[in-house]
Structure 1
Amino acid sequence: MAEHFNIERLMDSSGRVDLTDINWADVPKYPLTPEAIRALRYFLLTENSTFFYVKALMSTDAVYEEPELAPFLCVWMYEEEFHGRAFRKFLEAYGEPPVQTYRRDMFLSRGAGEKIDEIGQNILGKIFPAHWPAVHMVWGAIQEFTTYMGYQALIDRIDHPILTTICQRIMKQELRHYAFYKEHAKRRLQDPTTQKVNAAAVKLGWTPVGDGMCPKEEVVHAVRFLFDGLDGAAIPRIEQKVRELPGLEWFDMFTKFAERYDIRRAPDSWFPKNMRKNVESSHKTGSASMVDAL
C-alpha cells in the first residue's frame, strides 16, 4: 500500500535539481540525432511553462482552504523551473542554445485552445467551486506520470550518459509531484458529482502535456519520438495508470489523440545505431517500476 503523502517531507527535501557535478564539457562528446535535439527542446518548453498553469490553480479556493496545496505549488513551480534550466544548460553545452526569447515566444504563440482554457477555467472554477480543484489534481497526475515516462524514454532512446544522469535526478522530483497529485485526486474523486464534473472536463479538454503551449507538430513529434505512438507500449501504460483514479475507468484520451494524428513508430534513423533493440526491450520489461508502487 502506498504511503500517505507527506508534505513536510516534500518541503524538507525540495530544491533545485543538483547539477554541480556535471561536466558540461563532455556533453558534445556523445552525438545526438536532430530528432533527439528537437525532443529536448520540447522538454525545455514544457518544463518552463509550469508557471502558466500555477496561475490557474492559484485562482481556486482550494489554495487557501487546503494547507498542503500552497506549499506544494511553491515547490512544484520552483523545481520545474530548474528542470527547464537543466535542459537549457545541456543544449547550450551541446552547441544548440535556445533563443533567449523562447519563453516569451512560447507564451505569445500558444494555441487558441490554451487561451480559451485560461478564461474557461476561471469561469468553471466559479460555477463548480467544490468540484473544480479535482480537475486540476487529475490533470496534474496524468501530466506528471506522462512526463515521468517521457524522461525514461529519453534515457532509453538517446543513450547519452550525462543526459541520463540529469534525467534520473529530475525523475525523483517528478515522482514526488505525481504522488501529490494522485493522492489529492483520489481523495476528491470519492464524490460522485465530482467524478462527473471531472470526466466531462477531461473528455472536453485533455491533450498531452505541452499541447497548446507548443505547436501541434512538435507535440506529435514528441509523442512519436518518445512513445512510438500507437505502435508503442507507453500510451496504453499511461492510460492504465490513469484508470486507477475513481471515475476514470474509461480513460482512452491519449490513444484517441494518437489516432487523430496517426502517430506511429518512430524511424530507426531517429536514434543512435543499435538503440532500437534496447528501446523495445526496455518497453517490454517496463520502465516505470518506481511509479507503479504508488
Structure 2
Amino acid sequence: MAHWTLDDVAWEAFDPARVDPDLLCIIKAAALTERNSAHYSKYLCNVFRGDEAFCAEADRWSAEEVQHGDALGRWAELADPGFDFEATFRRFTEGYVIPTDVEDSVRGSRGAEMVARCIVETGTSSFYSALRDATDEPVLKDLCRRIAADEFRHYKLFYSTLKRCLEHESLSRRRRLMVALGRMQESEDDELAFAYHCANTPDQPYDRAASSAAYGARAFCHYRRGHIDRATAMVMKAAGLAPHGRLGRVFGGALWRYLRFRLWRLGDEVPRAAKRADAAA
C-alpha cells in the first residue's frame, strides 16, 4: 500500500503565480524518469530471483516511484496546461528503453547492485530536498517533501538489503566505493537528458549535450551545502565507510567544489545550450 496517495495532496492550493519556469522544465523531466522506474523492478526481481520477500519490496518501491511520476506529471499539467504528460511519457519510453531481460546484476553481484541502488536513492532524495527548499509554490513544495521522504525510506530498504547480502558475499570497501563512484558518474547518462528533451523540446532534433546542459543549469543551482553533506554521508555509508569521518568530509568538500565548478562552466555554456535546446519551448 502506498505511503500516501494523490488524493492526499491539496491540489486546490496550487498557485500559478509562484511557478518558476526553470523549475517547471526539470519537474517535467523528473516526472518521466520517475514514472519509468517500474521497469527497474523487473530488472531487480530478475537479479533477486528466488527472493520473494525482496521482490515484493521491489514491487512496492516501483509502485511508489510510479506514483511520484504521476504526481509530478499532474503538477506539471497544472503549471503548463499545454503539457500532455501521458503523450510525453509515451514519446520518452519509445526513445529510451531500459534493458530488463537479464539474469544477473550488471554490477557483478547482488550486494554491488544494492550499493548502486543506494546511490540512486541518495541522488533523488537530495534532488527533491533541494527543490523543496527552492520552491515557494505550495503544492510543489509539498510534493517534493513527500517524495524526498519516500526516497530516504527507499535508501533504507536497499541499505538493509545490502547488509543482508554481505552476510553471504565478500564485497570489499574498495569495491563498494568503486561501484558507488561509478553509479554517480552514470547520473549523467542519456536518461535525464532525453527526458528533458522529450518534455521541453520535442519539436527539435535531440541534442544530448544541449539537453544535458540545459537540465544541469536549472537543477544544480538549487543545491546547498547541507544537501551535499547529507548526500555524502549516505554515499559513505553505502560504501562501508564512516559517514562523518575525515574521508567523508574530504569527499563532501570535493563534491561541493565540483558542483560549483559545473555551474561555473554552465554559466558560459547554457546560453548556447538554451538557444539550441529551448528554441521550441
| TM-score, scaled relative to structure 1 | 0.66
Residue in 2 aligned with 1:29?
16
Cα distance per residue 1:255-287 (max 9 Å; x no partner): 6798499522698xxxxxxxxxxxxxxxxxxxx
Q: Give matches, 1:36-75, under 5 Å.
A: 36-60=23-47, 62-65=48-51, 67-75=52-60
Residue in 2 aligned with 1:168?
145
In structure 2, which of residues 78, 95, 100 is the aligned counterpart of residue 109 of structure 1?
95
SS state at 1:101 partner = helix
The 1-side partners of 2:107 and 2:227 are apart by 36
In structure 2, which of residues 234, 238, 242 is the aligned counterpart of residue 241 of structure 1?
234
Does the CA contact (< 8 Å) of 1:47 and 1:81 recur in 2?
A: yes
- Tell me by how many angstroms 1:236 deviates: 4.6
- Tell me by how many angstroms 1:230 deviates: 9.1
SS state at 2:49 partner = helix
Does the CA contact (< 8 Å) of 2:2 and 2:60 recur in 1?
A: yes
Q: Which has the higher helix share?
A: 2
Cα distance per residue 1:160-218 (max 9 Å; x no partner): 11212222233332232111112222343465446555445444454365743221555
Residue in 2 aligned with 1:228?
221
The 2-side partners of 1:21 and 1:95 are apart by 22
- Tell me by how many angstroms 1:125 deviates: 3.5
Structure 1 alignment gaps of length 5 or more: 1-13, 268-294
SS state at 1:68 partner = helix
The 2-side partners of 1:229 and 1:172 are apart by 18
Residue in 1 aligned with 2:74?
89
| 2:115 equivalent to 1:135 | no
Structure 2 alignment gaps of length 5 or more: 194-207, 268-281
Residue in 2 aligned with 1:207?
185
The CA RMSD over aligned residues, in Å, is: 3.9
Residue in 1 aligned with 2:125?
148
After superposition, the Cα gap between the structure-2 partners of 1:207 and 1:109, relative to the gap in structure 1 and judged at 3 Å, is farther
Structure with the bigger RCO (C-alpha within 8 Å, sep 6+) is 1
SS state at 1:64 partner = coil
After superposition, the Cα gap between the structure-2 partners of 1:52 and 1:254, relative to the gap in structure 1 and judged at 3 Å, is farther
Residue in 1 aligned with 2:205?
none
Residue in 1 aligned with 2:5?
18
**Amino acid paired to 1:71:** A
Does the CA contact (< 8 Å) of 2:41 and 2:58 recur in 1?
A: yes
Percent identity, please: 19
